[in-house]
Amino acid sequence: MDIIQKIIFMGLPILFAITVHEVAHGWVASYFGDKTAKLAGRLTLNPLKHIDPIGTIVLPGLMLLMHSPFLFGWAKPVPVDWRNLKDPKKDMALVALAGPASNFIMALIWAFFLKYVLSSDGSDAFQMMAQTGIMINVALIALNLIPIPPLDGSRIVSSFLPARAAYHYNQLERYGFFILMILIFTHVLSAILMPLMQLLLGIIASIVGL
């Protein structure tokens, strides 16, 4: 398999995982009263509406070249105005949780597809696509549960904090990208993510029967 085919068969599930993750945030926010993402045209599965040059293209590409044990990335965050939500603290936690929940569902779908491919002697390309789909979604779940602003885990934690503490905690968002990069290049992130990813993979394998 040449590099172009590999990029296509691995890139499609990565794009889909990141896109659906963001749409899930926007859809749940819309359900609870905030139409900001809908009005911005972000409730669409068109990946071009969600691509972030660094998080969607450069970072996953670098991780592929570095033969990273896992892949992840991010899209442009969908805009959410918490002031429009019916119950801002509770609803914001549910909006944040929607992204990882959508990734878990997608990981299950890819796992069932992998089971079908393996049972039908499908091509290596489709097997690689399914495995990538499982791994990228599991990695996104694990990554986004880390409570570093602006990751989803921080939104969930923030919803349980008193207003003043939540405000100061959320101020870390301006440093979030740099904290994440430091964790990646010092391999601390791998040490944090791998145990949770292994747990999630075990759960998915048990459900699907792999």
Lowest mean pLDDT among 80-89, 118-127, 195-204: 118-127
pLDDT value of position 130: 93
| Whether the predicted pLDDT of 174 surpasses 90 | no
The arithmetic mean of pLDDT across residues 79-96, rounded, is 91
How many distinct helices (H) and strands (E) make up the chain? 9, 0
CB 24 within 8 A of CB 73: no
Lowest mean pLDDT among 7-11, 88-92, 185-189: 7-11
The arithmetic mean of pLDDT across residues 143-149, rounded, is 90
* Chain centroid, CA 91 distance in Å: 19
Q: Is the dihedral of CA 48, 50, 54, 55 positive or negative?
A: negative
Please enumerate in sequence order all residues whose Cβ is within 8 A of that of 34, keeping only pairs 6 or more positions apart, or say none: 80, 81, 82, 84, 85
pLDDT value of position 125: 81
pLDDT value of position 150: 84
Question: Percentage of the chain with pLDDT > 90?
Answer: 40
CB 65 within 8 A of CB 47: no
pLDDT value of position 64: 67
Of the residues 9, 13, 20, 22, only one is catalytic, namely 22
Lowest mean pLDDT among 23-27, 158-162, 200-204: 158-162
Q: Where are the domains of the chain?
A: 3-85+100-142+177-208
Could you tell me the pLDDT band of residue 35, with boundaries at 50, 70 and 90?
Answer: very high
Could you tell me the pLDDT band of residue 133, with boundaries at 50, 70 and 90?
Answer: very high
For residue 150, say if its preceding peptide bond is cis, omega within 30 degrees of 0.
Answer: yes
Residue with tokens 């659906």: 20
CA nearest neighbour of 62 among 147, 193, 179, 181: 181
Q: Cβ-count burial of 115 within 10 angstroms (0-12 exposed, 13-18 middle, 19+ buried)?
A: middle
The yes-or-no answer on residue 22 being catalytic is yes
